[in-house]
Amino acid sequence: MVGKTLCMLSAALMAIGVAAEEGKAAGALYENMCGTAQSLALWKNSAVAELLPAAGPSGNYAVKFVASDDKGKTINFIIPVAAVRGKTVTFSAMVKAENVKAVPQSWKGVKCQIFAVADGNKQYNEEGLTRADRFGSYQWRKVSTTFAVPANLNYMGLSMGIYQTSGTVLFSNINFTVK
């Protein structure tokens, strides 16, 4: 597990270097996070997602999750903590849902989440997602969540997909920015 995490962290740091070399916009730590098979592979459990090269809102890429049971399917991306401690971060994406089954718990359904651990305290942030963003069917819409990162951050990651319900969801234009 440690070796796999270090490998993912190394790949993520290489992605940051590539983004800097390519002259990405100020504040953009990661842009189009799943736009290629290589970038999707940086996400933990990426085999549950399908990369569709031209299914996005403007003919660009989309990442598709299909859950036929109530277990759902999600993937996670680990963020290097040194790049975000004490800053404000935003995780955003364009999302399209098809028949995502509604359940009583508000944290289930479409998942676009920042998770963090600071001094043993776990924090989950999805404040930008409403119940209408989590369940049902809808065309492409932007969802985002913003988080003030504590200076004592130990661990941070992103999670997206369908959580503990069934349906289909597509993500595109997946970005993570730092202010």
Q: Please, are residues 49 and 60 in contact by the beta-carbon 8 Å criterion?
A: no
CATH number at residue 60: 2.60.120.260
The per-residue pLDDT for 85 is 94
CA distance 25 to 173: 15
Helices (H), 33-164: 37-41, 131-134
How buried is 157 (Cβ within 10 angstroms: 0-12 exposed, 13-18 middle, 19+ buried)? middle
Q: How confident is residue 11, by pLDDT bands cut at 50, 70 and 90? A: very low
Q: What local confidence, expressed as pLDDT, does residue 34 receive? A: 83
Mean pLDDT (whole number) for 98-103: 95
DSSP 71: T
Across the range 139-151, mean pLDDT stands at 94
Q: Which domain does 148 fall in, by range?
A: 2-178
pLDDT tens for each residue of 40-49: 999 999 999 9
Q: Domain tally for the chain?
A: 1
pLDDT tens for each residue of 101-125 = 999 988 899 999 999 999 999 999 8
Residue 28 has what pLDDT?
Answer: 61
**Rounded average pLDDT over 50-55:** 94
For CA atoms 125, 93, 63, 148, give the dihedral sign. Answer: negative
Does the pTM of the predicted model rise above 0.85?
Answer: no
Q: Is residue 139 predicted with pLDDT exceeding 80?
A: yes
| pLDDT score, position 117 | 95
| pLDDT tens digits for range 22-42 | 333 346 678 778 888 999 999
- Which amino acid makes up residue 99? N
Q: What is the pLDDT of residue 30?
A: 80
